Amino acid sequence: MHANRKIYSYEGYQDILIERWNSGLIWLGKYDDHHLPELWFCRPTPRTIWLSGKPRQKYYRALREKLKSRMTTTAKKYSFITLTYHHKKYSPEEAAERSKSDIKELLRLIRRKFGKIQYFYIIELTQTGYPHFHVIIDHFIYWKVLKAMWYHITWSYVVDIRMIPSGNIAGYICKYLTKVQKQNEWQFEFIFKNIDRLWSASRGFFGKYIKPLSDCVFLAMSFGLYKSMKYILRPDEDTTFWYIPYEFAIPLLNYDIYIERRRSVACYDFLDEIQSMFSSQTINACYAYCDHFFNHVKEPFSYILREG
């Protein structure tokens, strides 16, 4: 379990995420149609299950697409397993505490009997507060064998297993992940404090990750910059990207006060390319203009909004 989940309450951690969402900016560089460098602000929606609405939708949409691509690119057949705890033998907190070790032990027994397997599992919380598992493995197991294994580990015998052809697995995935996504906030709060990992997969289950191509260069990341500030005013609430004029682009990225984290030397390379387009007098004028604006102009500056 992540250390933050042990330190903060669910509501406290949500406040931190919302604060970072509102004040964080990603700086991107891209080239226009004439291959001239441009600088853009970006404030994307975070991908996390701990915030309701768009962040949680984004998290589950990415997980669904990841699973669907795996199932549609292989000819294997999969088993869909559901595992449940006996309510009279464990409290919800006790079941949650042992859930990680129980699923690991079950997978170990399956490997010992059937050899190497690929698996994916996700934990769902029932309306009574008990965790139960949905597991996908690339092997068929007889129901009696699976029931005996689960009973040996947990003294619980409520199990279900179905053989699913690869062509139909996407429907099952969407059905159950959508169901998990619609859990109530008290269920996510219980998971936050009691469940170590919401889902897990064997190494190689998703195959080799191929990084998607992008026409943008990641430059830097900043926190503490709010959309209400005059130098990053958001002209449209539905807009994620803003273009930044050169007279603001050069000073903003060179003043360390605005950049709290740099991850790549590409930031400096891209800035050098921008600065090489102008004379030293022009660059100094940009700094002077930007300084004057920050120190004396009270009205917010609206950046040029472009499609992109």
Query: Is there a single domain that holds both residue 218 and residue 176?
Result: no
Element (H, E) at 41: strand 37-42
Which domain, by its residues, includes 20?
3-49+212-296
Looking at residue 140, what is its pLDDT? 84
Looking at residue 256, what is its pLDDT? 57
Residue by residue, pLDDT tens for the chain (308 residues) are: 678 888 889 999 999 898 888 777 787 888 888 888 887 777 778 889 999 888 988 888 888 877 777 666 666 778 889 999 998 899 999 999 999 999 999 999 999 998 888 898 989 888 888 998 989 888 888 899 999 999 999 999 888 888 776 555 666 666 666 666 678 899 999 999 999 888 898 887 877 766 666 777 787 777 666 555 545 554 555 556 766 666 666 666 665 555 665 666 777 777 778 778 777 777 777 777 666 655 655 444 443 333 33
- Residue 104 counted as domain residue: yes
Query: Is there a single domain that holds both residue 22 and residue 65?
Result: no
Task: State the Cα–Cα distance between residues 202 and 77, nearest whole angstrom.
Answer: 17
β-sheet with 216-222: strand ranges across: 216-222, 25-31, 37-42, 241-244
Query: Is there a single domain that holds both residue 28 and residue 64?
Result: no
- Separation of CA 105 from chain center: 28
User: Which pTM was predicted?
Assistant: 0.76
Looking at residue 42, what is its pLDDT? 78
Looking at residue 232, what is its pLDDT? 52
Query: Is there a single domain that holds both residue 66 and residue 186?
Result: yes
Domain boundary among 197, 225, 259: 197
Query: Is there a single domain that holds both residue 186 and residue 61?
Result: yes
- Residue 74 counted as domain residue: yes
Query: Is there a single domain that holds both residue 99 and residue 27?
Result: no
Query: Is there a single domain that holds both residue 147 and residue 228?
Result: no
The 10 Å CB-count burial string (b at 16+, else e) for 244-259 is: bebbbbbbbbbeeebb
- Residue 307 counted as domain residue: no
Residues 6+ apart with CB under 8 A from 148: none
Domain boundary among 144, 162, 197: 197
Q: What total number of domains does the chain contain?
A: 2
Query: Is there a single domain that holds both residue 182 and residue 228?
Result: no
Q: Which amino acid is at 23?
A: S
Query: Is there a single domain that holds both residue 253 and residue 170?
Result: no
Looking at residue 301, what is its pLDDT? 41
Query: Is there a single domain that holds both residue 71 and residue 193?
Result: yes
Cβ distance 60 to 256 under 8 Å? no
Looking at residue 100, what is its pLDDT? 92
Task: State the Cα–Cα distance between residues 134 and 119, nearest whole angstrom.
Answer: 11
Domain boundary among 197, 224, 253: 197
